């Protein structure tokens, strides 16, 4: 390239020109290149924020505010700003401190407990409903499915005021539009119940639609055979249809678990103070770093990394289930 002779220039130009020449003859090559460029672009944009968390988390606290994360590099006499942030020092201790300053593991445990409880309840109730909608023909089926669909569209904000009042347990619940008292609910704020109930109702419709699809696909003959063998109606559902639809059940379980783990609205309102002992999930844990330790950005980043790990692992392990569930269930929903 530096001193090409005329003859050489004609036969073999720069690599870019050579590539352009062959690309004109073979357009497939251009599509290939565009494809990989787009793929790299999407990979960088989706994964970069996690890289930034790691950069912040390993930067020692004292170095956080001094200087820029974009170092100036001097390359062959030309100095410029390096386009990627790099850590200012290395101190993985933040990943230990994050559990000491605030009991972050307890918040995560709360999140797990809430997510598992909700998933079990949702799977049970949605299994019954999925069986009904997927396998039985009865009047009002379409209307009921439409009703469940409509409810799932309503914003949580439309439910929160009466639920908060009911869970506070100060006044008796009355029949709407009258003052006839029904009963006084127990105080449920800061307990799992005040979060599991709304979560279950909120995330159940998606599971119902997924399980309806899967249960509807089991051949009638299998259920009939089980019934002839003497299984009860419920037994046929839980011992034949549910095990045969294991992929569908797993899909509904994974999606419900992730949805609860990610939930913000009720998690932040129903746990009135961000304390692990009061059943506050990771929302409370992360926010207490933001509100109490306002300059320890490395701890905020470390807590975020720790909190995101379970779902990242779940996505990598169960991505087939997630994809099939979102595409079969959510499209219908």
- Looking at residues 137 to 166 of the shown chain, list those that interact with other proteins (rule: CB under 8 A): 137-139, 141-142, 144-146, 148-151, 153-164
Of the candidates 3, 5, 7, 45, which one interacts with other proteins according to CB under 8 A? 45
For residue 316, state whether it binds other proteins (rule: CB under 8 A).
Answer: yes
From the list 25, 29, 39, 217, the residue with the least C-alpha distance to 131 is: 217
Residues 296-315 vs other proteins: string with x where CB under 8 A? -x--xx-xx--xx--xx-xx
Sort strands 78-81 and 181-183 into parallel, antiparallel or unpaired.
Answer: unpaired
CB count in 10 Å sphere of residue 257: 22
Site for other proteins in 225-244 (CB under 8 A): 228, 230, 232-234
CB of 169 to other proteins, least distance (A): 14
Q: What is the 3-state secondary structure (H, E, C) of 24-37?
A: HHCCHHHHHHHHHH
For residue 197, state whether it binds other proteins (rule: CB under 8 A).
Answer: yes
With tokens 């968390």, the residue in question is 53
Which tokens sit at 229?
Answer: 């063998």
Of the candidates 97, 110, 190, 200, which one interacts with other proteins according to CB under 8 A? 200
Spatial separation of the C-alpha atoms in residues 302 and 95, rounded to whole Å: 6
Residues 267-296 vs other proteins: string with x where CB under 8 A? -xx------------xx--xx--x----x-
CB of 190 to other proteins, least distance (A): 15
CB of 32 to other proteins, least distance (A): 10
> Can you give the C-alpha Rg of the chain in angstroms?
28
Site for other proteins in 72-91 (CB under 8 A): 85
Whether the CB-CB separation of 123 and 207 falls below 8 Å is answered with: yes
Instruction: State which H helix or E strand residue 265 sits in.
Output: helix 265-270
Whether the CB-CB separation of 162 and 171 falls below 8 Å is answered with: no
CB of 135 to other proteins, least distance (A): 9
For residue 206, state whether it binds other proteins (rule: CB under 8 A).
Answer: no
CB count in 10 Å sphere of residue 88: 20
Site for other proteins in 118-137 (CB under 8 A): 124-126, 128-129, 131-132, 136-137
Instruction: State which H helix or E strand residue 174 sits in.
Output: strand 173-174
For residue 109, state whether it binds other proteins (rule: CB under 8 A).
Answer: no
Query: Residue 240 or 286: which CB sits closer to other proteins?
Result: 286
Of the candidates 24, 70, 180, 222, which one interacts with other proteins according to CB under 8 A? 70
Q: How many residues of this chain bind other proteins (CB under 8 A)?
A: 104
Sort strands 78-81 and 72-75 into parallel, antiparallel or unpaired.
Answer: antiparallel
């Amino acid at each position: 390239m530096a001193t090409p002779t005329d003859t050489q220039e004609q036969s073999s130009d720069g690599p870019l020109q050579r590539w352009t020449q062959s690309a004109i003859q073979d357009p497939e090559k251009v599509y290939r290149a565009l494809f990989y460029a787009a793929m790299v672009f999407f990979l960088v944009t989706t994964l970069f924020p996690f890289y930034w968390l790691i950069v912040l988390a390993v930067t020692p606290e004292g170095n956080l505010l001094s200087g820029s994360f974009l170092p100036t590099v001097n390359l062959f006499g030309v100095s410029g700003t390096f386009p990627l942030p790099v850590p200012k020092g290395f101190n993985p201790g933040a990943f230990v401190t994050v559990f000491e300053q605030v009991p972050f593991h307890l918040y995560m445990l709360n999140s797990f407990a809430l997510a598992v409880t909700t998933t079990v309840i949702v799977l049970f109730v949605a299994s019954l409903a999925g069986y009904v909608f997927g396998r039985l023909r009865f009047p009002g089926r379409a209307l009921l499915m439409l009703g469940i669909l409509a409810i799932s569209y309503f914003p949580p904000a439309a439910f929160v005021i009466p639920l908060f009042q009911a869970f506070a347990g100060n006044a008796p619940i009355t029949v709407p539009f009258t003052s006839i008292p029904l009963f006084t609910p127990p105080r449920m704020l800061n307990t799992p119940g005040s979060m599991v109930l709304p979560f279950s109702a909120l995330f159940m419709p998606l599971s119902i639609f997924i399980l309806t699809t899967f249960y509807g696909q089991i051949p009638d003959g299998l259920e009939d055979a089980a019934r002839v063998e003497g299984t009860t109606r419920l037994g046929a559902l839980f011992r034949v249809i549910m095990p045969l639809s294991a992929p569908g059940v797993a899909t509904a379980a994974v999606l419900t678990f992730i949805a609860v783990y990610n939930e913000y609205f009720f998690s932040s309102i129903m746990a009135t103070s961000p304390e692990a002992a009061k059943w506050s999930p990771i929302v409370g844990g992360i926010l207490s770093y933001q509100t109490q330790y306002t300059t320890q950005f490395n701890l905020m980043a470390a807590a975020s990394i720790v909190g995101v790990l379970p779902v990242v692992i779940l996505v990598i392990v169960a991505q087939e289930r997630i994809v099939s569930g979102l595409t079969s269930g959510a499209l219908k929903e």
